Amino acid sequence: MSRIGKKPVSIPDGVTASLDGQTVTAKGPKGELSFVVNEQVLVKMEDGKISVDPANQSKEARSFWGMSRTMIENIFTGVKDGFSKTLEINGVGYRAAMQGNKLQLSLGFSHEVVYTAPENVTIQVTKPTEIVISGHDKQVVGQVAAEIRAHRPPEPYKGKGVKYADEVIFRKEGKKK
């Protein structure tokens, strides 16, 4: 039994939600998002709350049950508050700067790395070594952060590269004499 799936999702203040068949749509101050729930899960909207239940007791239906509830909660949080991820850049001469909607990264290559931000995602460079990515869709924000990090992931010897702010880099010992 899914402990997450049992709990109904309450619709926050300032967000309007609608249920059309298996599609849950939410509108809020940050924008509009929708999620199509799998047929293995039943969705009901009652007095300001959305509840999900598995259609049957198969393993697949129970797997989609908790995930569907979490996705619905994420679209409500996204249209109300939004999501953000912070990246840190470590290394001598490594830095970031914004040029319009393009992020320019100096990561020790012979050329500048230029990343164009997709729609509905805001990239801010608060310090030359700190990037804040924010938007209303959690999946898109995470994908943009992963794509920026992939240009120069942190290496385990000196920790140089682009890492998430809360990421811990396991350091290795160098050569011994």
**Topology of the domain covering 3-80:** Outer Surface Protein A; domain 3 (3.90.930)
Where does CATH 3.90.930.12 sit in the chain? 3-80, 83-164
Predicted pLDDT of residue 131: 95
Considering the entire predicted model, what is its pTM? 0.86
**Per-residue pLDDT tens digits for 132-171:** 999 999 999 999 999 999 999 999 999 899 999 999 999 9
On whether the CB atoms of residues 2 and 62 are closer than 8 A, the answer is: yes
The neighbouring-strand residues paired with 17 are 26
**Topology of the domain covering 83-164:** Outer Surface Protein A; domain 3 (3.90.930)
Please enumerate in sequence order all residues whose Cβ is within 8 A of that of 17, keeping only pairs 6 or more positions apart, or say none. Answer: 11, 24, 25, 26, 27, 45, 50, 76
Low-confidence ranges of the chain (pLDDT < 70): 1-2
Closest CA to 63 of 44, 38, 43, 45: 38
